[in-house]
Structure 1
Amino acid sequence: MQVDGPHTEEEVLLFRKALERNTTLLTVLSRASTLNLPNWYLAAGSVTQTVWNMVTDRPAETGIDDYDLVYFDDTDLSWEAEDTMIQRGHRLFADLSTRIEIRNQARVHLWYEQKFGVPCPCQHTSTEGAIRTWLSGTALIGVRLVPPGEEWKVFAPWGLADILSLTVRPNPSSGNKMMYEKKVARWLQIWPTLKVIPWPKSEQFGEQELETNT
Structure 2
Amino acid sequence: MKDRFFTDVLRNPHNRAILERWDELALLVGWLVASCLFQTVWNVQSECEPEAAIKDYDLFYFDPSDTSEADIRTLQQFDQVRGLALHHRRYRFGDDEISRSH
Q: Same fold (TM over 0.5)?
A: yes
Higher relative contact order (CA 8 A, sep 6+): 1
Q: Say yes or no: does 1:74 pair with 2:35.
A: no
Equivalences, count: 87
Q: Secondary structure at the match of 2:39?
A: helix
**1:154-173 to 2 correspondences below 5 Å:** none
Q: Deviations over 1:166-204 (max 9, x none)?
A: xxxxxxxxxxxxxxxxxxxxxxxxxxxxxxxxxxxxxxx
Instruction: Name the amino acid aligned to 1:13.
Output: D
Query: Going by fraction, where is helix more abundant, 1 or 2?
Result: 2
CA 50–127 in structure 1, closer or farther in 2 if over 3 Å, else same: farther
Select which of 89, 94, 101 maps to 1:125: 89
TM-score (norm 1): 0.35
Instruction: Provide runs of 4+ in structure 1 moved above 3 Å.
Output: 107-111, 126-129
Q: Secondary structure at the match of 1:125?
A: helix
Query: Going by fraction, where is strand more abundant, 1 or 2?
Result: 1
Q: Say yes or no: does 1:22 pair with 2:12.
A: yes
Taking the aligned partners of 2:91 and 2:22, their CA distance within structure 1 comes to: 15
Match of 2:3 in 1: 13
Gaps of 5+ in 1: 1-10, 79-106, 130-214
Identity of aligned residues (%): 30
Q: CA deviation at 1:62?
A: 1.5
Q: Deviations over 1:96-125 (max 9, x none)?
A: xxxxxxxxxxx69847x89xxx83033241
Q: Say yes or no: does 1:56 pair with 2:46.
A: yes
TM-score (norm 2): 0.67
Gaps of 5+ in 2: 94-102
Taking the aligned partners of 1:127 and 1:30, their CA distance within structure 2 comes to: 27
Instruction: Name the amino acid aligned to 2:9.
Output: L
- Cα RMSD over matched residues? 2.9
Q: Say yes or no: does 1:44 pair with 2:34.
A: yes
**1:176-195 to 2 correspondences below 5 Å:** none
